[in-house]
Structure 1
Amino acid sequence: MRTQALGLLARVAAGILFPLVLGASGCCGCPMGLCSSLMKGLPGPGSSPPTTGPSLGVGGGAGASEAEAEAGEPSAPLAPEGAQAERQPVHGSAKEPSLSLDSRLPIRGALQKQASGKTRFVPHAATAAAPIGDGSSFVVAGATGLWQHDTNTLAKRSRLVPGPVLDVAAAPDGARFAYTLSGGRVRVVEYPSLKQRTAATVDVPVRMRFSADGKHVAFGSESDTVTLLDVATGKTHVFDTDEDVNDVFPLPDRPGEVAYASDDDEFAIVDVLKGRKVFGSEPLVERWRSTNRPFFTMRDQQAVAYDPVTKTLIGGGDDNMLWRVDDLRGAPSIRAPIELGGNVVEIACCAGLTAVDRAAYVAVDDLRVRAVALDGRLGPQFGPLMGSVGSFKIRIALLPSGDVLVVPQGTLYRWGPRTGEALRSSDYAAPSTLSGSALDADTVYVLCDTGVCVVHRVAHGAPAADVETVILGELPGLGMRAMLPFDNGTRAIVTSKDNKLRLVYLGPGGALEAPIDTPADASFGEKYARRDGGTHGCMLPGGDVYEITASPRGARKVGTAAGSGPVSSFDWDAASKRWRIGRRGHGFEYVP
């Protein structure tokens, strides 16, 4: 098995090798002759190299019944559904990628039936991606299902599974992939036949990965478990770690052993089949700290990987450090960690043909991805996408062409570390960028970009895999402050002009109406509350309270809150039939 795993990694590594840069000196970390000769033979994006690279995933969609999942019985092949016409991706630089959407392009999504029985528009948002087959295609798990994409153009080709699908991972040779659904239901599917190989139910996973030989899938869960699924038999083996598991990585040289990252401030290895823990990083880290006396301590570990070429175990987490353990099978030792300027949330391992060239792609929580050589050198960088670190979600998958799939905050990029290009899919939207209002009949979005806000609408009809919004026009005003829905299907979109609030009404099924200017000051910080199906309240920072109504159209001042102190609440008090303002430490006052 070890020989097979090394062979697969070597073939993948040839496509991902890059010149590494020393962080301190800026000197080339890879002999130019060696790098140049290898680069000449690399296939381009979308070509057909012999095998795919390792993929990463996080966890769920639709498919066979729960009974089939429990029994591990095969079901009928997946039935792909068509997608909208191909949309050109957005070309950009890896130095300045953006989560922003082009407000003049329709938003794409699916019409999905909700638990309530109503159909709603759900924008396409990606969670994880994995290359399949020869690498000319990849699959994306997300809010609207499991989608197959063309690697070269990023275009959606078909939906394989209705959504939501929580995660996807693929075997290193691309011959099968697994996806997870709500409740921990897992399906393993052969590719390209799309026949289900096996199914199971596991503790709801936060991460999942295939073993190097594709025979097992490992899962980590916040239920404190590491689970190993045997693809051939459908049997699962579970190990209770007594701590939240944030990531897993099946070790290629020993079937049954899985490395995991935990909330117990360490990464460790368990033999799931034998039911025992065989390694923990804590003693090594404490020994290193006692000698080097750094100001920091190891904190929750979020990501883990193992490189069989250099025999290095890698971990990272909330301490901003990338840790490396050498000689894992002999006399394990730990090296000084690499500071990465943010919490480590993802590791894709590994690239490079030789031990000298081996590197991992590491993501931190400002949505930045960095190539990091296992000897500490720093290579090409993607992002950051955010100005500060936070609990932002990002996943990485290595493509055999040498490019990298990056899935940050619901969006999708193909990054070329050698060229510095970041190609963004036009199909996926970061949920945080959308301001929407959903009623029974339709969903309306106001999307703002480069100072222009565009109003989109999509009608709710029969469930459909891939639909897009209809653009109603530009919002006549400066930005969008609120969207207030009324029971008759009308919406009042609040914007501003000349430092006053402006209302733009949108009737059910109709066009944008002429704007109505109000005397209300457009100072930021106003609060909105619903009175009834035909009236909303607006309280300005200065205390003035207005009512915004659907009939008649417009806003009227009903009074002023004269109290002082921070406003903690603003709502309609049905008992007194007045607007109620809560002030921290000062009780309530009423208007009028």
Structure 2
Amino acid sequence: MITSTTVDMGTIKRTFFAVATFMKTRAPLKTLTIKKGIVKAFSPDASVFVRVFGSSILLVERETDKERMVFHGHTDEIQSVAFSSDGKTIATGSEDLTVKLWDVASGKERGTFIGYTVPITTVAFSSDGKKLVAGCSDGTVTLWDIETHKTSQTLKGHTGKVFSAAFSSQGEQVITGSDDTTAKIWDTQTGTELTTLRGHTKSVVSVAFNTDGKKAITGSQDMTAKIWSCDSGKEITTLRGRTGSIESVLATPDGKKIATGSDDTTARIWDPETGEELEILQGHTKGITLVASSLDSEKLYTAGRDFTIRQWNISLKPAEWLKHAVTDPQIKLLTDAYKAKILGKSLEIQPDSENYKILMGIEDDEVRTFLIISLSILIKN
């Protein structure tokens, strides 16, 4: 244990940038080791997820890894899974050249979409649950009317496998990402290609819209994610810093954060307006394949090739406090705690000490708790 020491405030402030950088890196709140299978989708509230085993899927409770239901019906490998926004229906796309709809409550098959000659590689629902988009290995994209089970549009333009697809919040547009290094935005009513997003140098494997549908997010095997203007098709910014393919991207429901999951084992949180990296989420030992947000935008769930699901607190309160509310005495205290942390020790604080008063001066309980835990501050009883 070490105690806080008197250090020149100028030196402390020069050192404090390291504390702020350190605070960007977060450990998971919870880790669930899954039994087997590949996690392909989380429900909208992230309470359950789907694991894929060849031609079957399992519906599993996230908190316990308890298997709730098995869905059988496909005759070949399932490539993609999606939940409807109300969480009541699951869609699956398979190498058996079909798309199937499943009732989550009963596990019964609700319908099969046929007519394909190549494997289905990605599926996604519109937010109202009335449309489904399915992308294929030959680059074609199909829009389905779920009520009638009929094709409403066939979208042609990609020259390579379609890896990912997503609807805008109003369902008026669809974005698709392809092996041809582009993403395309389409009008769902007419099937017209509205714009092609060019700039990636390798396959675009993950796509999403932000909450108002004015921006698109793409993740690529070129180890970058990009934010685009949907109106102009122009790149707004590139999100760099990873050393692996960007396998999953999303915008949180509140529109204030973008999350990316990478094959480099990290997930990262970004400012959608500036492209600034806000948080680095470290804990997985193999690549991350899927990210999902809680409905309140305060938690992120990640699934990795290490057969774990991890839950993270992605509240921006600590970062905002560090930027705008921290005082000089608090800077000194946190710097001392950081120096102890990197030495493998803990800063010890007595309840009746001045440092205790300084620490308790952080009025926001969430921020104070986060700082105590992440900097391993030890309060003596």
The answer, yes or no, to whether TM exceeds 0.5 is yes
Deviation at residue 268 of structure 1 after TM alignment: 1.5
Q: Which residue of 2 aligns with 1:299?
A: 202
The 5 A counterparts of 1:272-311 are: 273-282=189-198, 285=199, 298-309=201-212, 311=214
Q: Aligned partners of 2:204 and 2:55: how far apart in 1?
A: 30
Which has the larger share of helix? 2
Q: Aligned partners of 1:384 and 1:310: how far apart in 2?
A: 31
Deviation at residue 333 of structure 1 after TM alignment: 4.1
1:147–1:161: 8 Å Cα contact kept in structure 2?
A: no
2:53 corresponds to 1:142: yes
Deviation at residue 352 of structure 1 after TM alignment: 5.0
Structure 2 unaligned regions, length at least 5? 1-16, 316-381
2:144 corresponds to 1:220: no
Closer, same or farther in 2 for the Cα pair 1:281/1:332, shift >3 Å?
closer
1:198–1:232: 8 Å Cα contact kept in structure 2?
A: no
2:94–2:120: 8 Å Cα contact kept in structure 1?
A: no
Q: Aligned partners of 1:276 and 1:23: how far apart in 2?
A: 50
Match of 1:253 among 170, 178, 195: 170
Q: Which residue of 2 aligns with 1:45?
A: none
Deviation at residue 169 of structure 1 after TM alignment: 0.8
2:282 corresponds to 1:409: no
The 5 A counterparts of 1:107-118 are: none
1:323 aligned partner, one-letter code: K
Q: Which moved more, 1:179-188 or 1:400-409?
A: 400-409
Closer, same or farther in 2 for the Cα pair 1:383/1:95, shift >3 Å?
farther
Q: Which residue of 2 aligns with 1:364?
A: 262
2:218–2:225: 8 Å Cα contact kept in structure 1?
A: yes
Match of 1:396 among 267, 284, 291: 291
TM-score w.r.t. the length of structure 2 is: 0.64
Closer, same or farther in 2 for the Cα pair 1:385/1:95, shift >3 Å?
farther
Q: Aligned partners of 2:306 and 2:145: how far apart in 1?
A: 30
Q: Aligned partners of 2:305 and 2:205: how far apart in 1?
A: 17
2:66 corresponds to 1:151: no
Closer, same or farther in 2 for the Cα pair 1:94/1:136, shift >3 Å?
closer
TM-score w.r.t. the length of structure 1 is: 0.43
RMSD, matched Cα: 3.6
Which has the larger share of strand? 1
1:127–1:410: 8 Å Cα contact kept in structure 2?
A: no
Structure 1 unaligned regions, length at least 5? 1-21, 30-92, 102-107, 109-123, 286-296, 387-391, 420-592
Deviation at residue 96 of structure 1 after TM alignment: 12
Deviation at residue 156 of structure 1 after TM alignment: 1.7
Closer, same or farther in 2 for the Cα pair 1:207/1:347, shift >3 Å?
same
Q: Encode CA deviations 1:92-113: one digit per residue, 9 max, x unaligned.
A: x5499899x9xxxxxx6xxxxx
The 5 A counterparts of 1:203-218 are: 203-218=118-133
Q: Would you say how many aligned residue pairs link Structure 1 and Structure 2?
A: 289
1:351–1:360: 8 Å Cα contact kept in structure 2?
A: yes
2:321 corresponds to 1:321: no
Q: Which residue of 1 aligns with 2:185?
A: 269
Q: Which residue of 1 aligns with 2:250?
A: 349
Q: Which residue of 2 aligns with 1:548?
A: none
Q: Which residue of 2 aligns with 1:381?
A: 281
2:285 aligned partner, one-letter code: L
1:131 aligned partner, one-letter code: S
Identity of aligned residues (%): 18
SS at match of 2:290: strand
Q: Encode CA deviations 1:215-273: one digit per residue, 9 max, x unaligned.
A: 11212222111121221111123222241222111223353x32111233321112355
